[in-house]
Structure 1
Amino acid sequence: RGGGGVCDFGAIGACGAGIGMVNSPARAVADNPGLKTDNLKAVAVYYDHQMNDSRVAVMTVRAAVESGAVVLNHAEVTGLRMTRGRVTGAELKDRLDGTEFGVDARVVLNATGPWVDHLRRMEDKHSMPSIRLSKGAHIVMKRKSPWKAAMATPIDKYRITFALPWEDQLLLGTTDEVYEGDPADVRATESDIQQILDEAAFSVKDADLDRSLMTYAFAGLRVLPGGPGGVEKAKRETVVSEGAGGMLSVAGGKWTTYRHIGRVVMDKLAKLPGSPLTEDMEPVKSLVRRVPLPGVANPNAVAHRLLVDREPGTRMDPLTARHLASHYGSLAFDIARLANEDPALAERIHPDGPEIWAQVAYARDHEWAETVDDVLRRRTTVTVRGLDDEAVRTRVEEMLGL
């Protein structure tokens, strides 16, 4: 049935793996008491890594800003600016206050994920689809027993179901089915939830799959190359194309290769007419290849310093210190400073979670969080823990000035 290990960062995407050993069912149950052992002969163990995709996305944007980028959150592209048949900018709309404005550019990169073909049709209404979408759903469960390793269980020739220890909970999934609706409307349906539970039941005990343990359900979209056959068979490859108006579009790929994709795209952008990029691309490539994301640090060392380097008369809960260290790295010290300056920000957002109110202030002031969901779902793990009750959401609204 398979098994795996997890690293410190704590969330969804796998970043690399190595084959390990084969263990007995008894050894596997010692690590994961929720494992079913009926007819189980052996468990293959491999080692893998985890990352929090929301946190890595925010830190990637922050790294871009430190290199000179300008960030517009909640900005919708409503049209493209054209000059003599070439794309030379975009018309934008602020989705929060309705403000409309435009941006001029010498080159335009369309990296809009599941909306990539929508923008390609703005450039050329006759453009053919370049990608297709696959919906993947997950559910999050409270853990009844300790889980020391992730579990990967083959379902058929192409698909595997996962049971991962994640954010002190259990992450189950995923589904893989074609999606043809509006990307903004993707949701985990009741059918998705039941499918995930049924597939998890191949290897997870029923007591650990009780519906009362579920705290959250969500779905996302995989951007896959267009082609024949089912989406479960499609290769997870990157699609890069230049349109009739000179706009470069890129979609697909995986977190494991996103820096490589960045280098490929920069090479292609440099060759476009009017590109501001010089022939000497080495400084740019070096930036994409070698510069670490903001805050990258050993989480064990950061957590230790958060606990021992305190102002007189203050202390930090070890669970909070560990959470901040693993999700913010060395930037956790900035959050700790906010908590030291204002004791109210040192309080937990919810008594059942490790996060503190200083993270809300930090998301507002340094991470472009403008809505309650930006904070609770996309900058912190409050929502996925099922802790975003009305009182929490109301206070976040107040802190955001909504």
Structure 2
Amino acid sequence: MSTYESPAVTPRAAEIGDRVERFVRDVVAPFERDPRRDAHGPTDALVHELRGLARQAGVLTPHILPGGGHLTQRETAYVLRKSGLSPLGPLACNTMAPDEGNMFLLGKVATEAQKARFLAPLIAGDARSAFLMTEPAVDGGAGSDPSMMRTTATPAGNGWTINGRKAFITGYAGAKVGIVMARTSAEGEPVRATMFLIDLPHPAITIERVLDTIDSSMPGGHSVLSIDDLHVDGDAVLGAPDEGLRYAQIRLSPARLSHCMRWLGAATRANEIATAYALKRQAFGKPLIDHEGVGFMLADNLIDLKQAELMTDWAAGILDTGDLGTAQSSIAKVAVSEALMRVADRCVQVMGGTGVTGDTIVEQVFREIRAFRIYDGPSEVHRWSLAKKIKRDAR
């Protein structure tokens, strides 16, 4: 079956994306059985080796151009989808969360000195980063609602002192760059927050534990942290004081789409594997594909994959206009995450017992996409936000 590519795929994006796809399929995919991983994700040793191979192939950090320029969001959608064809692809190509979103934010907000110190090592693939925003639910802290921020930053001399707890901090263990978000408004005042850049690890930040989670694609896992009297100088402020909530939207709107892009690639590959299985596996005298129940599931997968591709392209186009696209990114995040969940679930079902084993990446893709329906805002939060917009627009 011929495939339709969006007219938004520019020659530049097509050339980069096609190189990324060849690299991920030919070089990265064989590492999917590499034992260098722990309960939380691939080890840094494996990541280091894969990034070295990506550097040699000229596909390391492919969405950021020489000189610091950035592909458009539509072009990024194409390239990141290709990197996602293996769960290891985004790590190898340096397009993985949270680094990809952190690089985007630093490119938009950081000073030149901050870019040299914190952004350059990320782009070079020499460092990983962490975004310290989410807080433990038991503390009543910020999750999908960053205005509930309980971590505080108070003025101290020529800088700030930060105290609080953070949770679900992806990739903290082993990260070298940290973005800490803390409340800088007084108790009882409207919430204002500020972002701070820090070198990691830092003695004032303690890992309480690394959570056991359903997903296992991100080095360092997801940590619960204690921040005790972390002192930073004034030049650690990212952007301007009290602008953290606005900067969070600058980061999160594209980041939601980046997740959609990467997991669209993974779901595409899972569907390829399930289709190959259905063509080869015999049952009741004929290949599985010839049984209507199986054939229809694979047909539905094609429909969901194409809708996810078009939805992502549409939302990325909104971001390219300069609009934050908050509503559009919410629509895309819900639609794509739920469509890809259906795809992954059908792939498991088509493959039967084999689909729930580690013999292929299908089982992992199912787990990862299930987690994707929660992080960067669960579907229910995005639907609630959209419902509020509907009410506002009706007035």
TM-score of the alignment, normalized to the shorter chain, above 0.5: no
Normalized per residue, the structure richer in helix is 2
TM-score (normalised: structure 2): 0.25
TM-score (normalised: structure 1): 0.25
Which structure has the bigger radius of gyration?
1
